[in-house]
Amino acid sequence: MSLKIFNTLSRSVEELIPLDPSRRTIRMYCCGPTVHNFAHIGNFRTFVFADLMRRYLEFKGFAVTHVMNITDIEDKIITAVQKTGRDLKAYTGEYEAAFLADLDVLNCVRPHQLPRATDHIAEIIELIGKLLERGIAYRSPDGSIYFSIEKYRASGATYGQLLKLNFDEMRVGERVSSDEYAKESVADFALWKARTPNDGAVFWPSPWGEGRPGWHIECSAMSMKLLGPSFDLHLGGEDLVFPHHEDEIAQSEGAGVQEHGHRFVKYWMHGAHLLVEGKKMAKSLGNYFTVRDLLGKGYSGREIRFLLLSAHYRESFNFTLEGLNGARTALARIDELIGKLRDLAASETSTPEDEMVQRFTGVMDDDLNVSAAWGIIFEWVREKNRILADGKATALFAASALASWARIDAVFGLANGSKTAEVPAEIAELLEARQTAKKAKNFKRADELRAELKLKGWLVEDTPSGPKLKKI
Ligand SMILES: [Zn+2]
C-alpha cells in the first residue's frame, strides 16, 4: 500500500514517491522554533505532526533523515535581547533547552539534526552571494541585501507556488525589512540586514558589511546544506506558507543549485491552526498555554500528545482542557486493556494481528487519517475487552494483541500504556521491600508496607504475574 499526502504545491492528495531512486529514503525538514520564549501549544501541534509523519514513514519502512532548525537569530530575538540586556547565546540557549525538554515531555523523537542559524552564517552568506551573482538579489542604499521579486519572475520562475498571489496590486521594487509581513505587501524581502544601533552586539561581518541574516534565508541555507539542494518533504504550520515558505522556495530555486528539472522541495505539508478554548490563543484571553502551563495544571505530556494526535493535521482543531480530561479517560481505557493483556500473556510472545495492522495502515496511508485510526483502535479495545470478559482469551491471544498495540504505538508514541514508568522511586522501593518481606515470610512487615503505600496513594494488587501498583 502506498502513502498518499496532501501536497500544498499541487493543492491535491498525491502518492509520496521519494526522490531516492531506490525509493527507500526520505529527507524531511520541518521549520523549528524561534527561541525567544517558551513555545506554545499551537507551535507544538506542528512539531507533534512532524513527529507523527516521521514515525509513520519509519513504520512504512523508509529510512528518514529528519532536520529541524533552531531559529536563534531574527527580529523578535533582537528585540528580546535588547530589552533584557542579555547575551544572545545565553538568552536563546535557555529557550532552546526548554524547547527540547518540552519536545521530550511530548515524546517526540528528536530530529537527527537541529541546526542553529548562528552556526550557519557562512552558508547563509554563500547563498546570498549566489543570488547576487545571478542578479536576483541587490544591495539597498542602507547596505542591506534584498531579494528582487521582479528579477526572479523575469528569470521565468514563479513566485507564489504555494499560494496564488495578485501581482497587479504589487508595486515593483517595494521593500520589506521585517521578517514577518502580510500577504498584501508582497515585496522584496531582506536577505541580509545591515547593522543598526538596535542590533547591539548582534552582528556578523560579511562581504557587504556588518549585519545579520533575514529569517527566511536561514532555512534555505540550513536545509540545503544538510539535505541537499532538492529534498523530499518540507513541513510547517500553515501560518508559514506565506511569506516564509514562499521565500524559502524563491531563494533556494533562485540560486540555481538544483539539478535540471528538480525543485527545491517535492512535497510541502502544512499543519492547520490550533484554537484554544474556541478562540485564537492570546495572553489577554487567558487561553495561551505552553506545555509547562498544562503540566502545572496536572496534565501529562502523554495526555497533551494524545489530544494533539486526535484530529487530522489539516483540520483546525479546538484544544480545550475538557478535551485533555477526555484524553485522560481514553488513555485509561487503553491502559486498562493493556494491563489485563499483560497479566494474561505473562511470558508468552507473539506477532501482531495482520488484520488490525492492515486496517490501521489503510487509513493512515490516506493522508494520515488519524480520526479513522482512532475509530479502529477503540473498536479493537471494545472487542478485546469483550473476549476477555467472556473468559475465552488465551495467553497467545493476549500476546498477539499486545504485539499489535506495540506496532501501532510506534506511530502514536503514547508509551506502552504501562503505569510502571510513572511510579516514583520511593514507591518502587517500598514495593520492593514488601516483596522481600513476603519472601522472608515476614507477613506483618509486608502488611505494614502495604499500608504505608496506601497512605502514599498507591494500592498493591497481587496477581499471578507479580504485584501490581495502582494509583488511588
Ligand atoms: Zn523555516
Distance 240 CA to ligand 1 centre (A): 8
Q: What is the mean pLDDT of residues 116-138?
A: 98
CA distances from 249 to 166, 231, 384, 418 (A): 18, 12, 49, 45
Nearest Cα residue to 271 out of 20, 1, 43: 43
In whole angstroms, give the CA distance from residue 389 to residue 279: 43
> pTM for this structure?
0.87
> Is the pLDDT reported for residue 70 higher than 50?
yes
Does the CA dihedral 53-63-98-325 come out positive or negative?
positive
Residue 235 pairs in a beta bridge with 30, 269
Cell of 113: 539534526
Helix ranges, 190-348 (H)? 215-227, 246-254, 291-296, 301-308, 321-345
d(CA 304, CA 36): 23
The CA–CA distances, whole Å, from 283 to 38, 287, 323 equal 13, 7, 20
User: What is the residue-wise DSSP string for 380-402?
Assistant: HHHHHHHHHHTT---HHHHHHHH
pLDDT of residue 249: 98
- Which pLDDT score is estimated for 464? 61
Residue 365, all three cell numbers = 496511508
Ligand 1 centroid–CA 425 distance in Å is: 41
Is the model's pLDDT at 145 over the cut of 80?
yes
Main-chain dihedrals φ then ψ at residue 371, nearest 5 degrees: -60, -45
CA 123 to ligand 1 centroid distance, Å: 15
Rounded distance between C-alpha atoms, residue 292 and residue 305, angstroms: 13
What is the maximum alpha-carbon separation in the chain?
A: 88
Please tell me the total number of residues recorded for the chain in this structure: 472
What stretch of H or E contains 192? strand 188-194
Task: Tell me what pLDDT residue 185 has.
Answer: 67
Residue range 107-131: mean pLDDT, rounded: 98
Omega before residue 243 within 30° of 0, cis:
yes
Per-residue model confidence as pLDDT tens digits over 387-407: 999 998 999 999 999 999 999
Q: What is the predicted pLDDT for the residue at 423?
A: 64
**Cα 79 to ligand 1 centroid, rounded to whole Å:** 20
User: For the stretch 111-135, what's the b/e string if a residue is b when 16 or more beta carbons lie within 10 angstroms of its beta carbon?
Assistant: beebbbbbebbebbbebbbebbeee
**Distance from residue 230's CA to the centre of ligand 1 (Å):** 15
Q: Is the model more confident about 378 or about 465?
A: 378
pLDDT for 51 beyond 80? yes
pLDDT for 421 equals 42
For residue 39, give the amino acid letter.
A
Spacing, Cα 69 to ligand 1 middle (Å): 7
CB 424 within 8 A of CB 435: no
CA of 381 to the centre of ligand 1 (A): 40
Centre of ligand 1 to C-alpha 472, Å, is 46
pLDDT tens, position by position, 408-451 = 999 999 975 444 445 677 787 788 888 888 888 889 989 999 88
CA of 244 to the centre of ligand 1 (A): 6
Give the count of beta carbons closer than 10 Å to the beta carbon of residue 439.
9
Give the rounded percent of residues in the chain with a pLDDT score beyond 90: 80
pLDDT of residue 417: 44
Question: What is the per-residue pLDDT across 341-370, written as a single tens digit (0 to 9) for each?
Answer: 999 999 999 999 999 999 999 999 999 999
pLDDT score of 293: 95
pLDDT digits (tens, 9 = 90+) for 226-285: 999 999 999 999 999 999 999 999 999 999 999 999 999 999 999 999 999 999 998 889
Q: How far is the CA of 443 from the centre of ligand 1 (A)?
A: 63
Q: Tell me the CA–centroid distance for residue 32 and ligand 1, in Å.
A: 7
16 alpha carbon – ligand 1 mean position (Å): 22
